[in-house]
Amino acid sequence: MQSHSLKKQLELKKQFEQDGFVVLKAYGAAQLVNIQAAANQELTQLSHPLELEADVQYPGAPVNSSATGGSTPRRLLKSFQRNPTFSGWASNPGLTNTYKCLLNCQQLWLTPNHHNCLMTKLPHFSSDTLWHRDTRYWAFDTPNLLNSWLALGSERLENGGLKVIPGSHKIELEASQLNQDQFLNPDHPKNRLLLTQARPVELEAGDVLLFSAHLIHAASRNLTGEPKLSLVFTYHGEDTKPLPKTRSDALPEIMIK
């Protein structure tokens, strides 16, 4: 996989700092067939660890694992450790050098404790993810983390594609703007204004979405008859460390050369 030129990296960094996200069109196209095959194999095997839709209890999810659709996976966890095709993608220098530029770091770490997953939105039993920041339950000493999202198929609003609020990674939220689960309260006046700025991020298979873990985003359930699959990893540099004895520190960080 070819690295971006320094000029291109700096262009991406400027856009990332402004909007909180960038899309690398078709950047994963050359490896897509192999990654799709690995993803389909993993989805067929459904080896643990898994997160089920019933586990999160988001709107639309089965009420528990014994209900109809209760065994529907939401995420196949530990993807870096799960499959060498996935870890090869996650550590490819053609991309990770760009991650270092966006994060303004010299050394890069992948966190095994958050994302690090094959994310699924399956027909019939997927759920709505309300407006949030990924950092809401994470425990790091800075919010300077980058999510890398490889679309394994097309992503649109109707199949649960992401919606984002550009620039929201730089906004300070008041406590009253969030509910007890740290999702945006849609009735708050400031949030109503924020939500007018929301936009969908439409992706094709092989596109890579890079976005700040502090960017406010959401997604609906999959309303189509076809699965939606995405390979998602989270990275940080030397300026950001997980807080000891927290979920973010449960497994040792993976250094990416």
Interior angle at CA 231, CA 198 and CA 16, nearest 5:
45
6 contact partners, CB below 8 Å, separation of at least 6: none
The Cα–Cα gap between 86 and 153 comes to 16
| Tokens at 212, concatenated | 């700040």
Pairing of strands 162-164, 50-52: unpaired
What is the reported pTM?
0.96
Picking from 178, 177, 134, 190, the residue whose alpha carbon sits closest to that of residue 20 is 134
Question: pLDDT per position in the chain (257 positions), as tens?
Answer: 678 998 999 999 999 999 999 999 999 999 999 999 999 999 999 999 999 999 999 999 999 999 999 999 999 999 999 999 999 999 999 999 999 999 999 999 999 999 999 999 999 999 999 999 999 999 999 999 999 999 999 999 999 999 999 999 999 999 999 999 999 999 999 999 999 999 999 999 999 999 999 999 999 999 999 999 999 999 999 999 999 999 999 999 999 98
Q: Domains, the chain, ranges and CATH? A: 6-256 (2.60.120.620)
| Distance of alpha carbon 240 from alpha carbon 140, whole angstroms | 7
| CA separation for the pair 83, 230 (Å, rounded) | 15
